[in-house]
Structure 1
Amino acid sequence: MSACIYCCLFQLIACIIYPLRSTYQAYKLQEKLQIWVVYWILMSSIYLLEEISFGVFFMIPGYSLFKTLYAVWLYHEKTQGALLVGTLLKPLFNKIKCIMAPFQEKLEILEKVK
């Protein structure tokens, strides 16, 4: 039971606390901010999928360890996985942006009316 607590603590530090501190430092210094923005987008997507799946992912053996290692891979200086994944997903983000463009225009029109 205590091993589970240590695993959860390690995951909290590796996936949330360290990236949060590093994001704040990058924001203050205005450097390497792109990596952290992509990191938070990807990890937020994972957290959203976990909530939608009603805990199915947690039934997979080693899922928490894999998620923690994935998070470290995303922000580690030598791998910079966030930039790689961000480059691979850029066409998808562009498609989403094109789909959302008409809605954005309607929102801008509504804001002008107010």
Structure 2
Amino acid sequence: MSACIYCCLFYLIAGIIYPIRQTYQAYKLKEELSTWILYWILMSSIYLLEQITFEVLFMIPGYSLLKTLYAIWLYHKKTQGTLLVGTMFHPVFKKIKDILTPFQERLEIFEQVK
């Protein structure tokens, strides 16, 4: 088996399955979900970036391993990368919210008509 398959398997376990489990446990125990929600937003952004630049990113040697280490860095208790990245991207998230607010108001109007 090639090393890429092992990296993909490692990413599946460390970057998806474990965070799903932790998110569910935080939800079930009524703990703070903001860290896990931010984790999923950041990883969704990575996934979107991969879809746009598929062939370029996967040509980088060790990209799958770097992506896995980034995922672990985001949720690890000692590094708390989601909080660091979240504070860096807070102005971007606020700008997106400001852009989407008029659309949300229009949707609420349609819901009231029903």
TM-score (norm 1): 0.92
Does the residue aligned with 2:50 lie in a helix, a strand or coil? helix
1:66-108 Cα distance to aligned partner (Å, 9 max, x none) = 1111000000000110011111111111111111111111111
2:8 counterpart residue number: 8
How far apart, in 1, do the equivalents of 2:103 and 2:93 lie? 16
Distance change in 2, residues 1:7/1:54 (3 Å): closer
Query: In the TM superposition, what is the alpha-carbon distance from 1:55 to its structure 2 partner?
Result: 2.8
Correspondence list, 1:16-55, <5 A? 16-55=16-55
What are structure 2's unaligned runs of at least 5 residues? none
1:33-66 Cα distance to aligned partner (Å, 9 max, x none) = 1111100000011111111223321111111111
TM-score (norm 2): 0.92
Letter of the 2:59 partner, please give it: M
Ranked by relative contact order (alpha carbons within 8 Å, sequence separation 6 or more), the top structure is 2
Does the residue aligned with 1:59 lie in a helix, a strand or coil? coil
What are structure 1's unaligned runs of at least 5 residues? none
Aligned-residue CA RMSD (Å):
1.3
Identity of aligned residues (%): 75
Distance change in 2, residues 1:2/1:54 (3 Å): closer
How far apart, in 1, do the equivalents of 2:5 and 2:47 lie? 19
How far apart, in 2, do the equivalents of 1:61 and 1:4 lie? 10
2:88 counterpart residue number: 88
2:63 counterpart residue number: 63
